[in-house]
C-alpha cells in the first residue's frame, strides 16, 4: 500500500470538515465537521506510525481521541446553554460580540 | 497486497461519500448517521494499517459515545427532525473555495513529497508496544489527559446545569 493513499484520503476528510465548519449554520453540525477534521488527523498519525515502524503514532492518536471526547462534551454543553438562552442554535445569530 | 488495495478502495469510497453527505445533507439526524459510516471507515483504515487497538477504541469512543452525545444534543435542542432547508449559511461558496484550494495544495504537496513511498503493513505495532510507550515515554502526557478529561466532565456539568 502506498503511504500517499492514506494521506490523500485524510486530506480529503480534513477539507470536507473545513467546508462543513465554515458553511453550516446549526451548531451541532459544526461540531460534527470538527470530528471529521480530528479523524483525518488520526489517520495521518497512524499511517505515519506504520510507515516509520513506531508505536508513537498510535499513542498520539489515542490522545487525540481522548481530547476529542472532552471537546464534544464541553461543546455540546455550550450548545445546550446557547439553546436555553436564545431558543435557537443558529450560530450566525450568535453575534452579540460583533462590533 | 492487492486484496489490501481493493479493501482500501471500498472503504475510501464509502468514507468519501459519507463525509460529503455529512456536510451537505439537509437532515440533522441523517448527518449523524452518515458520520457513523465515516467513523467506521476510519476504524477499518486503522485495521488495514494493523493498528487494532486504536481501531477498537475508535469504535467504542466515537461510534459508541460521541455519536450518542450528538444524537442527545440534536434531541435536546429540538432541531427539526426531517427536511430542513436552512442548515447552510451564506458563506457556503466561500467555504467551498477555501476547502477546494486547501485540498489542491495538500494533494500536490503530498504527491510531490511521498510519491512512491510504500507502507510496509508487515511491521505490526502490537498493542503491547503501544502500552509500553504510553506507560514509559508518555506517562506524564497520559496523566495530564486524564486530568483534562476530568476537567471537561466537571466543566460540562457546570455549564449545562440549570440553576
Q: What is the pLDDT of residues A20-47, one digit of tens each?
A: 999 988 889 999 999 999 999 999 999 9
Task: Measure the CA–CA gap between A21 and B92, rounded to whole angstroms.
Answer: 10
In a shared domain, residues B10 and B74: yes
In a domain, B65, yes or no: yes
Residue B122 has pLDDT above 80, yes or no: no
Average confidence (pLDDT) over A11-24 = 94
Average confidence (pLDDT) over B72-97 = 78
Domain's final residue, options B84, B110, B138: B84
In a shared domain, residues B13 and B73: yes
Average confidence (pLDDT) over B36-57 = 93
Q: Is B138 on the interface with A (CB under 8 A)?
A: yes
Q: What residues of chain A lie within 8 A of the CB of B19, using their CB?
A: 12-13, 16-17, 36
In a domain, B73, yes or no: yes
Interface confidence: ipTM more than 0.85: yes
The residues near B119 (Cβ < 8 Å, ≥ 6 apart) are: A1, A2, A3, A6, A47, A50, A51, B49
Q: What is the 3-state secondary structure (H, E, C) of chain A?
A: CEHHHHHHHHHHHHHHHHHHHHHECEHHHHHHHHHHHHHHHHHHHHHHHHHHCCCHHHHHHHHHHHHHHHHHHHHHHHHHHHHHHHCCCECCCCCCCCC
In a domain, B41, yes or no: yes
Residue B88 has pLDDT above 90, yes or no: no
- Whether B50 contacts B124, CB under 8 Å: yes
The predicted pLDDT at position B99 comes to: 94
Task: Measure the CA–CA gap between A30 and A47, rounded to whole angstroms.
Answer: 26
In a domain, B100, yes or no: no
The predicted pLDDT at position B31 comes to: 92
What is each CA distance from A62 to A18, B79, B112, B153, in whole angstroms? 22, 32, 29, 18
In a shared domain, residues B8 and B62: yes
Count of C-beta atoms within a 10 Å radius of residue A3: 20
The predicted pLDDT at position B83 comes to: 63
Looking at the partner chain, which of B94, B99, B152 has a beta carbon nearest the beta carbon of A16?
B99
pTM of the prediction? 0.91
Q: What percent of chain B has pLDDT over 90?
A: 61
Provide the domain count of chain B. 2
| Site of grid cell 473545513 | A18
The predicted pLDDT at position B92 comes to: 86
Q: Print the domain residue range for B34.
A: 2-84
Task: Measure the CA–CA gap between B120 and B104, rounded to whole angstroms.
Answer: 27
In a shared domain, residues B77 and B138: no
The fold adopted by the segment(s) A26-91 is Helix Hairpins (1.10.287)
Q: B62-65 — which CB contacts under 8 Å span 24+ positions?
A: B62/A35, B62/A39, B62/A65, B62/A68, B63/B36, B63/B39, B65/A69
Residue B121 has pLDDT above 80, yes or no: no
Domain's final residue, options B59, B84, B109: B84
DSSP state of B51: -
In a domain, B70, yes or no: yes
In a domain, B22, yes or no: yes
CB contact under 8 A, B134 and A47: no
Task: Measure the CA–CA gap between B44 and B46, rounded to whole angstroms.
Answer: 5
In a shared domain, residues B79 and B137: no
Task: Measure the CA–CA gap between A67 and A74, rounded to whole angstroms.
Answer: 11
In a domain, B107, yes or no: no
What is the pLDDT of chain B when averaged over all its residues?
89
At B8-46, the pLDDT tens digits run 999 999 999 999 999 999 888 999 999 999 999 999 999
The predicted pLDDT at position A9 comes to: 94
Q: Which three cell numbers stand for residue A43?
A: 489517520
The predicted pLDDT at position B136 comes to: 93
A-interface mutation test, from B40, B58, B114, most A Cβ less than 10 A away: B114
Domain's final residue, options B84, B103, B118: B84
Buried b (16+ CB within 10 A) or exposed e, B100-117: eeebeebbeebeeebeee
CB contact under 8 A, A1 and B69: no
The predicted pLDDT at position B84 comes to: 65
Q: What residues of chain A lie within 8 A of the CB of B142, using their CB?
A: 63
Q: What residues of chain B lie within 8 A of the CB of A16, using their CB?
A: 19-20, 22-23, 99
CA dihedral B79, B84, B88, B89 (to 10 degrees): -80
Task: Measure the CA–CA gap between B122 and B95, rounded to whole angstroms.
Answer: 40
User: Chain A to chain B, count of Cβ pairs less than 8 Å apart?
Assistant: 249
Q: What percent of chain B has pLDDT over 70?
A: 94
Amino acid at each position: 500500500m502506498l503511504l500517499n493513499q492514506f494521506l490523500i484520503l485524510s486530506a480529503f476528510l480534513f477539507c470536507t470538515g473545513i467546508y462543513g465548519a465554515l458553511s453550516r449554520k446549526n451548531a451541532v453540525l459544526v461540531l460534527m465537521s470538527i470530528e471529521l477534521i480530528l479523524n483525518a488527523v488520526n489517520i495521518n498519525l497512524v499511517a505515519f506510525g506504520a510507515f516509520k515502524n513506531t508505536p508513537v503514532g498510535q499513542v498520539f492518536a489515542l490522545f487525540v481521541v481522548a481530547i476529542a471526547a472532552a471537546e464534544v462534551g464541553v461543546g455540546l454543553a455550550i450548545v445546550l446553554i446557547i439553546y436555553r438562552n436564545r431558543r435557537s442554535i443558529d450560530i450566525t445569530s450568535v453575534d452579540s460580540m460583533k462590533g | 497486497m492487492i486484496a489490501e488495495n481493493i479493501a482500501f478502495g471500498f472503504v475510501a469510497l464509502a468514507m468519501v461519500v459519507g463525509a460529503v453527505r455529512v456536510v451537505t445533507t439537509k437532515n440533522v439526524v441523517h448527518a449523524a448517521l452518515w458520520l457513523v459510516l465515516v467513523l467506521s471507515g476510519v476504524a477499518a483504515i486503522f485495521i488495514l494499517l494493523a493498528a487494532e487497538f486504536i481501531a477498537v477504541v475508535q469504535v467504542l469512543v466515537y461510534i459508541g459515545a460521541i455519536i450518542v452525545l450528538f444524537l442527545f444534543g440534536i434531541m435536546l435542542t429540538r432541531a427539526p427532525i426531517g427536511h430542513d432547508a436552512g442548515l447552510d449559511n451564506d458563506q457556503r461558496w466561500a467555504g467551498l473555495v477555501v476547502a477546494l484550494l486547501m485540498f489542491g495544495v495538500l494533494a500536490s504537496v503530498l504527491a510531490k513529497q511521498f510519491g512512491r513511498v510504500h507502507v510496509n503493513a508487515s511491521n505490526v505495532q502490537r498493542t503491547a508496544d503501544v502500552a509500553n510507550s504510553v506507560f514509559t515515554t508518555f506517562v506524564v502526557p497520559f496523566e495530564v489527559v486524564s486530568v483534562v478529561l476530568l476537567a471537561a466532565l466537571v466543566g460540562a456539568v457546570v455549564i449545562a446545569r440549570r440553576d
